[in-house]
Amino acid sequence: MAAAKRGLSPRPGVLDIAPYVPGTSALPGAHPVIKLSSNETPFGPSPRAIEAFLASATSLSRYPDGSARPLREAIAKLYGLDPARIVCGAGSDELLNLIAGAYLGSGDEAIYSRHGFLVYKIVILGRGATPVVAPETDLTANVDAILACVSDRTRVVFIANPNNPTGTYLAFDEVKRLHAGLPDNVLLVLDAAYAEYVRKNDYEAGIELVATTHNTVMTRTFSKIYGLAFLRLGWAYCPTEVADALNRIRGPFNVSGPSIAAGIAALADQAWVQHAVEHNETWCARMTEALSAIGIGVTPSAANFLLLHFPKRNGKSAQAADTFLHQRRIILRRVEEYGLPDALRMTIGSEEENRAVLEALTAFMGANGTPS
Ligand SMILES: Cc1ncc(COP(=O)(O)O)c(C=O)c1O
């Protein structure tokens, strides 16, 4: 008998959730693939992080520090923050979920923008609250449109900055204007998963607003530039009251010991991070130029991925490109569920991977062009 018939059913909203579908990670057959579907770094983690992770294998029978204190202290030292206001989680996904758990319930509304990160909708519905979607301008969050969505029931606004899957970002002045326009009782969540990659003078990840307001939280991850996606590790910088709320509802040992150890070691290797940033800057620009030259539209990106827009004409659709790339063992990210059926998202890979994508897409588009 179905569970619902026996009187057991999840809270309203839960069954409205379309489960998150991660980027494809494998193709049939034994040959290796080029996987550029999940915005992971081509360089992997710092060797120091791997060493720390391996060393932690000798203590697997012990519980870790329940508040990930050594990691919070390492983050605080690197960024000049108060460790008491940092909360760590099993990926920033867990922190987004905890924020929803602490601030959203039935009857509440939470806002995100049209092509915002899909997890927001999931965590909002998961708490029985109502998602409100603000229109964007040129695939970029529009502060006025977000503010126009605010109602008496609004409790949280989620902004990915830069945003996944578009790669677009909001300048700090715009983020400040957004915050200034929000009522006092609305929490602004700045999801800065790609902050380390951004090289824009007018960008600020969120530390300043968290430091100076009572209702802004910034979330960060070790999954992207730090290369630790497999471990699941993220952190949030919060006003004291928000950190207190999240700490009350999180699992008592929500971050594992090996993650804490690897995270601390990864932070200590900023030369590794710098190298990844420089590589990304170079290849983001080269790929944008080279792909544009073969007739693929590229949204200017501040992150480590590009949104590629296919012309649709003459069979040059995103779906056909995806199939063509799979035949060459290359996996990019389909983004239909973001409302972008004519686009694919490509993570910036190693030089070799990027060149392979360009060669394949050049063949697909029937044009010439190679990056210098
Ligand atoms: C904007 C954004 N936020 C959060 C996450 C979640 O990252 P994690 O849970 O691995 O820390 C991602 C991952 O793709 C992302 O793109």
The per-residue pLDDT for range 103-134, each reduced to its tens digit, is 999 999 999 999 999 999 999 999 999 999 99
CB 40 within 8 A of CB 223: yes
Structure token pair of residue 212: 């100076």
Residue 4 has pLDDT above 60, yes or no: no
Distance (angstroms) between ligand 1 centre and the Cα of 289 equals 27
Which atom of ligand 1 is least distant from the CA of 94?
9
Closest-CA residue, ligand 1 atom 3, reads 193
From the number of C-beta atoms within 10 Å of its C-beta (0-12, 13-18, 19+), residue 215 rates as buried
Atom of ligand 1 nearest to the CA of 232: 10
* DSSP symbols for 23-42: PP---SSSS--EE-SS---T
Question: Would you say residue 369 has pLDDT above 70?
Answer: no
What average pLDDT does the chain have?
95
Q: Is any atom of ligand 1 closer than 6 Å to the C-beta of 93?
A: yes
The pLDDT value given to residue 116: 97
Residue 6 has pLDDT above 90, yes or no: no
E strands, the chain, in order: 34-35, 86-89, 109-113, 130-134, 136-137, 140-141, 154-160, 187-191, 216-221, 234-237, 297-299, 305-309, 330-331, 333-334, 343-347
- Cα 23 to ligand 1 centroid, rounded to whole Å: 12
Cα 103 to averaged position of ligand 1 atoms, centre (Å)? 20
pLDDT digits (tens, 9 = 90+) for 164-182: 999 999 999 999 999 999 9
Does the beta carbon of 221 lie inside 6 Å of ligand 1?
yes
Structure confidence by residue, pLDDT tens digits, 203-252: 999 999 999 999 999 999 999 999 999 999 999 999 999 999 999 999 99
**Could you give the CA distance from residue 197 to residue 45 in angstroms, rounded to a whole number?**
15
pLDDT tens digits along 204-216? 999 999 999 999 9
Q: Is residue 279 a contact partner of residue 43, using CB atoms and an 8 Å limit?
A: yes
Output the pTM of the full model.
Answer: 0.95
For ligand 1, say whether the CB of 335 is within 6 Å of any of its atoms: no
Ligand 1 lined by 349 (C-beta under 6 Å)? no
The pair of structure tokens assigned to 147 is 């503010």
What pLDDT, on the 0 to 100 scale, is given for residue 148? 98
Judged against a pLDDT cut of 60, whether residue 290 lies above it is answered with yes
Is residue 205 within 8 A of residue 218, CB to CB? The reply is yes
Tokens, residue 221: 């991850």
Contact assessment for residue 193 and residue 149, using Cβ atoms and an 8 Å cutoff: no
| Mean pLDDT in residue range 320-329 | 96
